[in-house]
Structure 1
């Protein structure tokens, strides 16, 4: 009786390992995780994909990050160029990385009275460290 029970456990364990190996090889071939639809497309989001921030104008956190990016740009370029005055964030995307990475489209104007221009900024936020880092701030490419 004990041999029969041991044999059944071995068969069950082998079946579990076979299923796990098949699942691992399906992911190892580079296909994204998710549920494959009959059309061949995946539904859901990829881990680490960028997502649009909705209602950017009313999102206080995103507007504050835009203000931070302009202030940080001005701090880094003391005496080396024109100072900018923050206008608003007009578009934003969010990406989960080791923290949150924000891709911002910021409207700002020169403090000396120049017209409003658009800049692309990339900011990484690590809430558990209470840190914000400006990675990039440059004029936006014309569309």
Structure 2
């Protein structure tokens, strides 16, 4: 009898966990580990600082001189987050080419591990194809 009770209890726990993982949020199904849009990014200080970090890291990687030159951060235009081994952010960043003054839009991916102090790692930073202005594409020399 006790074994049967344990099986029923285990089944109930599994079903409850399945229901929690498949609940609807604002009319959309939640996918565990899926990407979610971050609302109000222009007023979100944390997201804006991550965008600035991405541009600074890009400048350091291309110039090797402490991040001077290259690009000047403007703002994060859009952002998504995904829970992985930390939090992975997908950012759409506006930045100005210092040499020409021409604004460009970039896609960046950065992972933050909140339990570790100063743990940010830029995974990718590239010109965004979805926001390029046709006249500005000739200036991309990255």
TM-score w.r.t. structure 2 length? 0.73
- State which of 121, 124, 127 in structure 2 corresponds to 1:139: 127
Which of these residues, 58, 71, 87, is aligned with residue 56 of structure 2? 71
Q: Distance in 1 between matches of 2:121 and 2:106?
A: 16
Structure 2 unaligned runs (5+)?
A: 132-142
User: What's the counterpart of residue 58 of structure 1?
Assistant: 43
Aligned to 1:43: 24
Q: CA deviation at 1:22?
A: 8.6
What SS does the corresponding residue of 1:34 show, helix, strand or coil?
helix
The within-5 A match list for 1:1-143 is 11-17=1-7, 20=10, 33-34=18-19, 43-44=24-25, 45-78=30-63, 83-130=70-117, 131-142=119-130
Structure 1 regions of 5+ residues with no counterpart?
1-10, 27-31
Distance 1:128 1:43, change over 3 A: same
Matched residue count: 122
The CA RMSD measured in Å over matched residues stands at 2.8
Deviations 1:78-106 (CA, angstroms, capped at 9, x unpaired): 17xx7011010000001111111110000
Provide the TM-score with structure 1 as the length reference: 0.72
Bigger radius of gyration = 1
Please state how far the C-alpha of 1:23 moved relative to its aligned partner. 7.1
| Residue aligned with 2:57, SS | helix
